[in-house]
């Protein structure tokens, strides 16, 4: 007889006004939902400002899952995720870290820039991201079993990783993975207009400039202009700043510190926008 595996239980989805806006570029929403139903962890790869964090926030709200986001950095250790004993009013008390909270509450734990974290983080993630779905807490002696609604999502930007900062195959091969890229032109215009409040006609030249500058990635600039930066520029224009000043502050300055490259970018943007 077939065992029918019950779907993970989550809170009823939030009202649609509470769901962060996300414009899908493919089947990623369905894929996320299926991965969650099947209790599979998810890895999101893609350049900075391409919508990974927004996507996770959108899906967490859609599925009614509490979201625990951790921005990983090179000093982040396993204990920062699982928890530690802290001194409170002369007593030592155990305080759950965000990963432990997500496991206990059956929520979504999102580890942003996972490759930055210290190596011992993989040790706690491995038993959680295979079919065991367990989180051993050595310090408290507990062995937590993740409830069906718990999900782990991680992301990183493969663009500027060096070899040392790649995920090990044994970690990488525990995740269903999606690659993110910037949206097609017309869709990006709609998103930037919605995010910034600037009308689409005024957003279009900013998106076109950004797309032009993206083609310089790897030559003069390390990363292409993110959708985030276009939203910044459009928001400044919507607030009344002259367009050249907005482009300078929100697109060109964040891209480079090299005076020659900067001068070249200013030239390109003058030629494109006048
Ligand atoms: N598909 C999208 N739908 C809606 N908004 C988007 C989308 N893609 C990008 N944005 C906009 O771009 C901004 C940056 O996106 P987000 O913070 O999700 O990028 P990220 O991929 O997480 O970047 P990082 O790697 O730097 O963390 C968002 O705040 C939002 O305004
Ligand atoms: Mg992010």
Q: Which of 28, 23, 21, 33 is nearest to 151 (CA)?
A: 33
Residue 222 in this model has a pLDDT that exceeds 90:
no
Residue 1 in this model has a pLDDT that exceeds 50:
no
Residue matched to tokens 């310089």: 216
Domain boundary among 134, 159, 179: 179
Instruction: Work out the number of other CB atoms within 10 angstroms of the CB of residue 121.
Output: 24
Higher pLDDT, 236 or 5: 236
Domain boundary among 152, 179, 206: 179
Mark whether 33 and 54 lie in a shared domain: yes
Domain boundary among 125, 156, 179: 179
Residue range of the domain that includes 189: 185-273
Mark whether 114 and 63 lie in a shared domain: yes
Mark whether 173 and 239 lie in a shared domain: no
From the CA of 206, how far away is ligand 1's center (Å)? 17
For 150-164, write each residue's pLDDT tens digit: 999 999 888 765 555
For 161-188, write each residue's pLDDT tens digit: 555 567 888 888 899 999 999 999 999 9
Q: Which residue has the least CA distance to atom 5 on ligand 1?
A: 22
Q: pLDDT-derived band of residue 221, with 50, 70 and 90 as boundaries? A: confident
Q: Which residue has the least CA distance to atom 24 on ligand 1?
A: 48
From the CA of 175, how far away is ligand 1's center (Å)? 21
DSSP string of 203-271, one letter each residue = HHHHHHHHHHHHTTBTTTBSSPPPHHHHHHHHHHHHTT--HHHHHIIIIIHHH---HHHHHHHHHHHHH
Q: Quick one: pLDDT at residue 51?
A: 95
From the CA of 231, how far away is ligand 1's center (Å)? 9
Ligand nearest to the CA of 230: 1
Residue matched to tokens 């459009």: 234
Q: Per mean pLDDT, which range of 1-10, 60-69, 229-238 is the poorest?
A: 1-10
Contact predicate 23/183, CB 8 Å: yes
pTM: predicted TM-score of the whole model, two decimal places: 0.91
Contact predicate 154/44, CB 8 Å: yes
């Amino acid at each position: 007889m077939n065992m029918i595996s019950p779907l993970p239980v989550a809170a009823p989805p939030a009202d649609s006004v509470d769901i962060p806006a996300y414009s899908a570029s493919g089947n990623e929403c369905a894929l996320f939902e299926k991965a969650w139903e099947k209790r599979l962890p998810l890895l999101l790869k893609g350049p900075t400002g391409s919508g990974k964090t927004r996507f996770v926030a959108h899906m967490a709200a859609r599925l009614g899952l509490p979201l625990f986001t951790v921005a990983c950095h090179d000093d982040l250790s396993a204990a920062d995720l699982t928890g530690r004993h802290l001194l409170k009013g002369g007593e030592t008390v155990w305080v759950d870290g965000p990963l432990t909270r997500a496991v206990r509450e059956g929520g979504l734990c999102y580890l942003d820039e996972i490759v930055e974290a210290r190596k011992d983080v993989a040790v706690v993630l491995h038993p959680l991201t295979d079919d065991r779905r367990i989180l051993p807490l050595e310090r408290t002696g507990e062995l937590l079993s993740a409830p069906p609604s718990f999900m782990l999502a991680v992301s990183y930007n493969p663009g500027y990783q060096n070899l040392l900062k790649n995920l090990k195959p044994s970690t990488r091969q525990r995740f269903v993975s999606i690659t993110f890229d910037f949206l097609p032109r017309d869709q990006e215009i709609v998103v930037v207009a919605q995010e910034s409040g600037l009308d689409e006609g005024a957003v279009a030249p900013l998106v076109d400039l950004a797309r032009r500058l993206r083609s310089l990635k790897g030559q003069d600039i390390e990363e292409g202009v993110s959708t985030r930066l276009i939203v910044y520029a459009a928001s400044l224009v919507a607030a009344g700043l002259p367009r050249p000043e907005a482009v300078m502050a929100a697109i060109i300055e964040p891209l480079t510190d090299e005076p020659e490259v900067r001068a070249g970018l200013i030239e390109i943007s003058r030629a494109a926008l006048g």
